């Protein structure tokens, strides 16, 4: 592609990943991968100023205020991002540029906490408002009730200054994060990917008690605005805040030269593994507040500060064994088990090797010395083998031709690098299959955690998904043995199982575990088949003609329903009272059938998810990106690149009011 196309592609990618990170708290790529995309775009835009665009992600703060999370609050002072740098030379260049204008400039170097930014407003010493960063410039979300549940937040200052607004970072200590995920796992719920996601998701909770329970923490790192007291420097303001009992950023250091700044950055980097919380860099700021006013800001970042991002931490260790596990679909995954090492503040002793092709590519063997890092400081991965340290007598590793769980033969998929167990009744597959079936994307049986599933399989109560709906016949036994807890807990789970029988057809389709058929495909199939019986009798030709169902998926569906074992399970599910019919028939108003909508920006009165549900209730489909197939784009405030793309393609644009009028007509 040419330069213009590459720039446009990078902008689209970064807009998408910004939305996942800031608005959905569910990033798809690591911080490091995101930074590389951003760096490439900044470089191209600098080299080709004629292609500059004020709507580029490099010119805007990434998030958007989400109306459904709380009341929107107008920012008194913008909560801007920082310019990221990745090389020592960039740090020196920044310091020298400042020194050229202000030869006596002093710099503050601080840890960059990996969390969620908030501002706290105090009136006469009393906390009156807590606001998230939101879009960083115009609006944030009111989270006052939630921030008051954070023990580090002072609701009353020692000195009753007329007004002060301070900015800090809400984060989670690693131990508190581990406790939250441990509880979620026991409840059978989706785990948070990292402490930052957990902090962001928790702060937006509508129930302040959840915030209190999850033990969020806060570091304050800046005075945004103040009246009744004057500060000359940033460091002076931090010391004043400390005297007020406010927890400010730990261990900041004053520096007077580029060498001192770099030394401080390196010291912080070396301390990463010993901190009880995650950091993703070091911040370098001009200390004098008048100097900050002199240098000013761009639309996105202050010119008087930068954030140095550390490269992913890498360490050597030795492979003790390669362990095989069997997933829900029978896929066998090899995992390297190695001597424990500490990476980014946590102990790590395993990393996936994915498949035989990856093992061959690395040529990793038991006994090898390997280099491990955490991709994006989250997921451990094996980078390479130090072959100069390979002991004598090692042999290449090959995944076994028999299943490690049941001993059945394994096969290598024709079209992928996966190795699979051929036994549909493999115990390991059953466990993962049940976890998928009861999960929130499928039957959503609340409280049916992995621990209960394992014990019920082990005790022989569950041999397939249909057995779940016959557990009520063993209520007294289950209570007596304490397999699900006492009477109250057992009855609660049995009721959740009973309630799930009335779920719509797409949830059951998703839960069956048909290869390549997930939540989206399940919803699409529900639109085309009135009942499970219709789907069971569908031909390959009928299936392949449906959106989101390709050749491989169509064949997998036909193969699944041709199995006598699966037919028997479905028969028992129907006998247990499972809903086999689509609610699609009950939707009389199908005015948007065959039409695709894209929703972008902050809507005046509705959350995006509410609008999405409204579209679906009237037969429409919602997509995440604008294309020639898009019928309408529904826009709100800060619509951004999706609105631009719609205008370029001539796609009709609707406001929230326009959409509601179309529905009421």
CATH code, domain with 44: 1.10.287.610
Q: At 579, is the secondary structure helix, strand, or coil?
A: coil
Of the residues 309, 330, 361, the one at which a domain ends? 309
pLDDT for 68 beyond 50 = no
pLDDT for 657 beyond 90 = no
pLDDT, residue 61, reads 55
| 397 and 485 together in one domain | no
pLDDT, residue 100, reads 95
| 113 and 196 together in one domain | yes
| 568 and 614 together in one domain | no
* Domain-embedded: residue 590: no
pLDDT for 69 beyond 60 = no
pLDDT, residue 477, reads 92
112 in catalytic set = yes
Chain position carrying tokens 């090492």: 341
**pLDDT higher for 374 or 284?**
284
| 84 and 223 together in one domain | yes
The average pLDDT across 598-604 equals 83
Of the residues 255, 287, 309, the one at which a domain ends? 309
| 295 and 159 together in one domain | yes
Q: Alpha-carbon distance 143 to 120, whole Å?
A: 10
Give the structural domain span for 22: 3-59
**pLDDT higher for 135 or 495?**
495
pLDDT for 66 beyond 50 = no
The average pLDDT across 13-18 equals 78
User: 406 a known binding residue?
Assistant: yes
pLDDT for 589 beyond 80 = no
User: 133 a known binding residue?
Assistant: yes
pLDDT for 642 beyond 80 = yes
| 458 and 510 together in one domain | yes
Dihedrals phi, psi of 460, to nearest 5 degrees: 85, 10
pLDDT, residue 67, reads 36
51 forms beta bridges with none
From the list 60, 66, 111, 112, the catalytic residue is 112
| 112 and 212 together in one domain | yes
User: 159 a known binding residue?
Assistant: no
pLDDT in tens, 180-209: 888 876 666 667 777 888 888 888 777 788
* Domain-embedded: residue 371: yes
pLDDT, residue 186, reads 67
Task: Please state whether beta strands 596-600 and 632-635 pair in parallel, antiparallel, or not at all (unpaired).
Answer: parallel
User: 344 a known binding residue?
Assistant: no
Cα 29 to chain centroid, rounded: 9
pLDDT in tens, 414-458: 767 889 887 766 877 788 889 889 988 899 998 898 889 989 988
Q: At 450, is the secondary structure helix, strand, or coil?
A: helix
632 forms beta bridges with 597
| 340 and 360 together in one domain | yes
Q: Where are the alpha helices (DSSP H) in 485-539?
A: 487-500, 505-511, 519-528, 532-536
Q: Alpha-carbon distance 117 to 79, whole Å?
A: 8
User: 169 a known binding residue?
Assistant: yes
* Domain-embedded: residue 413: no
**pLDDT higher for 589 or 480?**
480
pLDDT for 583 beyond 90 = no
Q: Alpha-carbon distance 12 to 18, whole Å?
A: 10
pLDDT in tens, 143-159: 898 899 999 999 999 99
| 235 and 357 together in one domain | no
User: 33 a known binding residue?
Assistant: yes
* Domain-embedded: residue 460: yes
pLDDT for 112 beyond 60 = yes
382 forms beta bridges with 372
pLDDT, residue 272, reads 80
Question: What is the pTM for the complete model shown?
Answer: 0.51
| 367 and 502 together in one domain | no
CATH code, domain with 511: 1.10.150.20
Q: Alpha-carbon distance 234 to 295, whole Å?
A: 15
User: 81 a known binding residue?
Assistant: yes
Max CA distance (Å), the chain: 83
Q: At 367, is the secondary structure helix, strand, or coil?
A: coil
Of the residues 309, 327, 344, the one at which a domain ends? 309
Spatial contact of 570 and 560, defined as CB atoms under 8 Å apart: no
pLDDT in tens, 617-641: 787 888 878 888 899 999 887 777 7
pLDDT in tens, 460-488: 999 899 999 999 999 999 999 999 888 99
* Domain-embedded: residue 350: yes
How buried is residue 606: exposed, middle or buried, by Cβ count under 10 Å (0-12/13-18/19+)? buried
The average pLDDT across 601-610 equals 75
CATH code, domain with 642: 3.40.50.10190
Q: At 546, is the secondary structure helix, strand, or coil?
A: coil
Task: Please state whether beta strands 217-227 and 346-352 pair in parallel, antiparallel, or not at all (unpaired).
Answer: unpaired
Residue 12 structure tokens: 């689209």
Give the other-Cβ count within 10 Å of 223's Cβ: 20
Assign 586 a pLDDT band (cuts: 50, 70, 90): very low
pLDDT for 8 beyond 80 = yes
pLDDT for 220 beyond 90 = yes
Residue 282 structure tokens: 């070091």
Q: By 3-state DSSP, what share of the chain in percent is helix, strand and coil, each rounded to 5?
A: 40, 20, 35
pLDDT in tens, 353-391: 989 999 999 999 999 999 998 755 567 889 999 999 999
* Domain-embedded: residue 487: yes
User: 259 a known binding residue?
Assistant: no
Max mean pLDDT range (6-20, 325-339, 344-358, 495-509): 495-509
pLDDT, residue 28, reads 61
| 182 and 275 together in one domain | yes
How buried is residue 165: exposed, middle or buried, by Cβ count under 10 Å (0-12/13-18/19+)? buried
* Domain-embedded: residue 591: no
Q: Alpha-carbon distance 251 to 22, whole Å?
A: 28
* Domain-embedded: residue 320: yes
Q: Among positive and negative, which fits the CA dihedral 532, 533, 537, 541?
A: negative
User: 97 a known binding residue?
Assistant: no
CATH code, domain with 359: 2.40.50.140
Range name among 42-56, 506-520, 545-559 with the lowest pLDDT average:
42-56
Number of domain units in the chain: 5
| 503 and 446 together in one domain | yes
Assign 290 a pLDDT band (cuts: 50, 70, 90): very high
Q: Alpha-carbon distance 622 to 470, whole Å?
A: 37
Q: Alpha-carbon distance 239 to 283, whole Å?
A: 18
- For the chain, give the mean pLDDT: 86
């Amino acid at each position: 592609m040419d330069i213009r196309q590459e720039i446009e592609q990078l902008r689209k990618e970064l807009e998408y990943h910004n939305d996942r990170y800031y608005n959905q708290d569910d990033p798809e790529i690591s911080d490091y991968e995101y930074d590389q995309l951003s760096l490439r775009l900044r470089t191209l835009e600098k080299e080709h100023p004629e292609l500059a665009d004020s709507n580029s992600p490099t010119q805007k703060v990434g998030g958007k205020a989400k109306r459904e999370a709380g009341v929107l609050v107008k920012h008194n002072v913008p909560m801007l991002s920082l310019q990221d740098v990745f090389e020592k030379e960039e740090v020196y260049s920044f310091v020298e540029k400042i020194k050229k204008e202000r030869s006596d400039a002093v710099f503050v170097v601080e840890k960059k906490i990996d969390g969620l930014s908030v501002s706290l407003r105090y009136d006469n010493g009393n906390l009156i408002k807590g606001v998230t960063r939101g879009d960083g410039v115009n609006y944030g979300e009111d989270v006052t009730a939630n921030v008051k549940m954070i023990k580090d937040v002072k609701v009353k200052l020692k000195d009753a200054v007329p007004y002060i607004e301070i900015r800090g970072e809400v984060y989670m200590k690693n131990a508190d994060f581990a406790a939250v995920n441990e509880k979620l796992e026991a409840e059978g719920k989706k785990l948070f990917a990292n402490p930052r996601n957990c902090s962001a998701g928790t702060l937006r909770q509508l129930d302040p008690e959840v915030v209190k329970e999850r033990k969020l923490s806060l570091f304050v790192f800046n005075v945004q605005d103040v009246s009744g007291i004057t500060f000359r420097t940033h460091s002076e303001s931090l010391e004043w805040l400390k005297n007020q009992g406010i927890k400010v950023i730990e261990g900041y250091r004053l520096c007077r030269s580029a060498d001192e700044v770099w030394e401080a950055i390196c010291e912080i980097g070396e301390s990463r593994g010993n901190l009880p919380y995650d950091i993703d860099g070091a911040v370098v700021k001009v200390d004098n507040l008048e100097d900050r006013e002199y240098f000013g800001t761009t639309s996105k970042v202050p010119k008087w500060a930068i954030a140095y991002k550390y490269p992913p931490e890498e360490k050597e260790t030795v492979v003790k064994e390669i362990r095989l596990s069997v997933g829900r679909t029978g896929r066998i995954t090899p995992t390297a088990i190695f001597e424990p090492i500490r990476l980014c503040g946590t102990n790590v002793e395993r990393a996936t090797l994915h498949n035989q092709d990856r093992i061959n590519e690395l040529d990793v063997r038991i006994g090898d010395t390997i280099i491990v890092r955490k991709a994006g400081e989250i997921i451990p991965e094996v980078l390479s083998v130090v072959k100069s340290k390979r002991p004598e007598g090692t042999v290449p590793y090959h995944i076994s031709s028999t299943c490690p769980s049941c001993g059945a033969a394994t096969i290598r998929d024709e079209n992928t690098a996966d190795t699979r167990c051929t036994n549909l009744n493999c115990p390991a597959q059953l466990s993962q299959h049940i976890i998928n079936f009861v999960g929130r994307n499928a039957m959503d049986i609340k409280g049916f955690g992995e621990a209960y599933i394992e014990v019920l399989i082990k005790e022989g109560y569950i041999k397939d998904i249909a057995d779940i709906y016959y557990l009520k016949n063993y209520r007294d036994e289950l209570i007596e043995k304490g397999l699900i807890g006492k009477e109250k807990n057992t009855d609660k789970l049995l009721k959740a199982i009973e309630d799930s029988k009335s779920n719509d057809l797409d949830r059951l389709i998703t839960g069956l575990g048909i290869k390549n058929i997930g939540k989206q495909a399940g919803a699409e199939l529900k639109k085309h088949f009135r009942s499970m019986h219709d789907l069971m009798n569908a031909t390959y030709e009928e299936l392949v003609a449906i959106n989101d169902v390709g050749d491989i998926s169509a064949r997998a569906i036909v193969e699944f329903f041709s199995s006598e074992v699966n037919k028997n399970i479905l028969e028992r599910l129907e006998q247990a009272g499972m809903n086999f019919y689509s609610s699609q028939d009950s939707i009389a108003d199908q005015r948007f059938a065959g039409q695709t909508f894209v929703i972008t920006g902050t809507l005046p009165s509705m959350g995006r998810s509410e609008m999405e549900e409204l579209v679906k209730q009237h037969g429409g489909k919602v997509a995440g990106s604008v294309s020639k197939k898009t019928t309408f784009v529904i826009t709100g405030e800060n619509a951004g690149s999706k609105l631009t793309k719609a205008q370029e393609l001539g796609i009709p644009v609707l406001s929230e009011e326009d959409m509601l009028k179309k529905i009421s007509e």
